[in-house]
Structure 1
Amino acid sequence: MTAPFFSVVMATHHRPATLARAIASLRAQTCADFEILLVADALDADTAAVVARDLGPADTFLKRTGANGPAESRNRGLGLARGEWVVFLDDDDSFEPHHLATLRPYCERPEARVLFTDITVVTEDRAQPGIPELGRQTSALGSSELNSLWVKNFIPLHCLAYRRSLLQGLAFDAHLASQEDWDWLLGVCSRAMPVHVPGGGAVMHKDYVNPGARRGQQETSNNTTVVLDFLHVYRRWPAPTPELKAARAGLLQGVGLALPVEWF
């Protein structure tokens, strides 16, 4: 079987309506040279129905065991990927139809290793039939200072694309309650810094109306936990310059934690 150009790794957890939307956004891609690797950490009847209806013969579905959380699901999906390039898509986000087609010519450049696109943020109400859209705003991420990634993340996971050979030995940390996407990205940055691709079609969907509708608004991601996870990420991936060390120290000092610059 010929390997696809893209492997799209998806993690899902009890979100059949948004999962169906995410898969539909992949089926609408104008570049169809991809496989879907969908990993669920829990399975209900509605999610099973979406999987049976919407996945194709070239796609893979896995119901894994173990603790809930997207990190290990992404790791399992990544381990099954056959594509030359890997992208991630959570079950509550989506891609505009041109997204993979926009990425591909940049991916085909011999020097390309990690790419990132811009982001459109859509606010919505998931408690209403059809999940009505409340508003949207597009951000041009290429205008941000790339080295600031060592201080705080500004690139959503599904904006990124990676040459799969670059990722050997990297994994998402399933022990982190938050910031695992950023921790992963800094591991990638230690090997190659991402290059901006203007435009793209990555869409992040957010529900501010219904508490707990999106991961990151849950109790496991409270302020104390986030600060502890920042500390963990900082220790794992030291800042490469004195200026970035100082920026890290200043960020934590802003939340009441004073540490010497040398610590970072």
Structure 2
Amino acid sequence: MPHAPFFSVITATHLRSPLLARNLRSLRAQTFQDFELIVVADALDVGTATVCAELLREQDVFIKRGGRRGPAESRNVGMSLARGEWVVFLDDDDTFAPDHLQNAHARITAGPAAKVLFSDFDVLTEDRSKDLHTALSRNRVSLAAQPIESLHVKNFIPNNALVFHRMVLEGVTVDPHLESQEDWDFLLAVCQKAMPVHYEGGGAIVHKDYVNPGTRRGTSTAANDATVVVDFLHTYRRWRAPTPELQAQRQQLMQSVGLALPTAWL
């Protein structure tokens, strides 16, 4: 029986072969290599196929799936195939620094025991119409002082800064019907089983292109302001705030966008 890897890294991709190539190269450069990579594409072109043929290893998996497009279903397919004890998500436009998986492995094996971990991360801004190797800016975002309970109000942890033990993912899926906030909705589902624990030294890198409209999902018409508010409300109703203080914080956030809602809704 093949050796089960320590990590399963799940990459959702959609017709962005230059970004996917950068993503996969960052994984090939990891100092800790006991992981499998599961690339799930919701559409296929020559560029995507070529990048995967060139950069995937024998133990890696490439799936072209059918059905509704978007990263949610791709992540669900990836989770169904994952063999690793720990699961990591890395969408095609983001990367890891070379020591990211090494640092996560060190924290996991050193203890104390935790089922969900998250690290600080870097935000790298770029112009994707130009050289992807040229950063416009790079800033470190520290999460150590962020109260973990505030996850019940809004998300502050990017998907690729999280590491999940496979046990907490059992029965949990990403909702493909949300146009935005699906990462947060998924994380709150996991939080019903285990709250995330911060660790130092992560190397998650979130890449942002603020120059070219439409290149980021958050600037698409499907993720406009009205849709975001609706998805916030949907998530609030699905995952109720566990304390009156958090209900009040949710109420204040909704008031800031012009919605006066009773705390009983939140």
Q: TM-score range by the shorter chain?
A: over 0.9
Q: CA deviation at 1:261?
A: 0.7
Amino acid at match of 2:55: D
Distance 2:218 2:261 in 1: 26
Could you tell me which amino acid in structure 1 is paired with residue 5 of structure 2?
P
Contact 2:40 2:62 (C-alpha < 8 Å) held by counterparts = yes
* Alignment partner of 1:129 is 2:142: no
1:131 Cα offset (Å): 4.7
The one of 157, 179, 194 aligned to 2:159: 157
Match of 1:75 in 2: 76
User: Does residue 236 of the first structure (1) align with residue 256 of the second (2)?
Assistant: no
Mapped contact 1:29–1:97 kept (Cα < 8 A): yes
Q: Compare 100-109 and 40-49 and name the one that shifted more.
A: 100-109
Shift of 1:190: 1.0
Q: CA–CA distance in 2 between the matches of 1:208 and 1:110? A: 39
Distance in 2 separating the partners of 1:22 and 1:215: 17
Quote the residue 1:17 is aligned against.
18
After TM superposition, give the deviation of residue 110 of structure 1 in Å. Answer: 6.6
Contact 1:117 1:198 in 2 (8 A): yes
Specify the code of the residue in structure 2 equivalent to 1:201: G
Asked if residue 208 in structure 1 is aligned to residue 220 in structure 2, the reply is: no
CA apart distance, 1:199: 2.2
Q: Which amino acid aligns with 2:207?
A: H
CA contact (8 A) 1:140 1:199 kept: no
State the TM-score, normalizing by the size of structure 2: 0.98
1:42 matched residue in structure 2: 43
C-alpha RMSD of matched pairs (Å) = 0.9
Instruction: Give, in whole Å, the separation in 2 of the partners of 1:35 and 1:217.
Output: 32
The answer to which of 95-104 and 123-132 deviates more is 123-132
Amino acid at match of 2:125: T
Helix, strand or coil: the match of 2:160?
helix
Question: How much does 1:245 deviate?
Answer: 0.4
Alpha-carbon distance, 1:165 to partner: 1.2
Residue 56 of structure 2 corresponds to 55
Code of the residue aligned with 1:148 in structure 2: it is S
Q: Which amino acid aligns with 1:236?
A: R
In 2: Cα distance, 1:261 partner to 1:110 partner: 36
Instruction: Provide the rounded CA distance (Å) in 2 between the counterparts of 1:143 and 1:96.
Output: 22
Identity %: 58
Matched-pair contact (CA < 8 Å) for 2:126–2:132: no
Unaligned runs of 5+ in 1: none
Could you say which residue in structure 2 is the equivalent of 1:26? 27
Deviation at 1:130, TM superposition (A): 3.9
Contact 2:76 2:174 in 1 (8 A): yes
Report the Cα distance in structure 2 between the residues aligned to 1:130 and 1:208, rounded to whole angstroms.
14
2:9 corresponds to: 8
- 1:46-195 → structure 2 map (5 Å cutoff): 46-108=47-109, 109=111, 111-195=113-197
- 1:65 deviates by 0.2
Counterpart-to-counterpart distance in 1, 2:220 and 2:121 = 23
Alignment partner for residue 261 of structure 2, among 231, 234, 259? Answer: 259
Contact 2:13–2:92 (Cα < 8 Å) also in 1: yes
The Cα offsets for residues 6-54 of structure 1, whole Å up to 9 and x where unpaired, read as 0000100011001000000000000000000000001111111001111
CA distance in 1, matches of 2:93, 2:221: 19
What CA deviation, in whole Å up to 9, does each residue of 1:142-194 have, x standing for no partner? Answer: 11111100000000000000100111000000000000000000011111110
Deviation (angstroms), 1:105: 2.1
Whole-angstrom CA distance in 2 between matches of 1:259 and 1:130: 44
1:132 Cα deviation after fit: 2.1
The alignment covers a number of residue pairs equal to 264
Q: Distance in 1 between matches of 2:249 and 2:170?
A: 30
